[in-house]
Amino acid sequence: MTEPSETQRGRCLCGQTRYAIAGPVRWTCHCHCESCRRQTGSPYTTFVGVARTDASLTGAAPGIYRSSPGVERLFCTACGTPIAFRADKYPDEIHFYAATLEHPEVVSPECHVHWEERLPWVVCDDGLPKHEGSYEE
- pLDDT on residue 136: 64
Question: For the chain, which residues make up each domain, given as ranges?
Answer: 8-117
Rounded distance between C-alpha atoms, residue 114 and residue 97, angstroms: 16
User: How wide is the angle at C-alpha 116 spanned by C-alphas 26 and 47, nearest 5°?
Assistant: 25
Per-residue pLDDT of the chain (137 residues; tens, 9 = 90+): 444 457 899 999 999 999 999 999 999 999 999 999 999 999 999 999 999 999 999 999 999 999 999 999 999 999 999 999 999 999 999 999 999 999 999 999 999 999 999 999 999 999 999 999 887 64
- Asked if CATH classification 2.170.150.70 holds for the domain at 8-117, the reply, yes or no, is yes
Burial state string for 81-104 with b = 16 or more CB within 10 A and e = fewer than 16:
bbbbbbbeebeebbbbbbebbeeb
- pLDDT on residue 36: 94
Query: What is the 3-class SS of the chain, one letter each residue?
Result: CECCCCCEEEECCCCCEEEEECCCEEEEEEECCHHHHHHHCCCCEEEEEEEHHHEEEEECCCEEEEEECCEEEEECCCCCCEEEEEECCCCCEEEEEHHHECCHHHCCCCEEECHHHCCCCCCCCCCCCECCCCCCC
- pLDDT on residue 8: 95
- pLDDT on residue 3: 47
Predicted TM-score (pTM) of this structure: 0.92
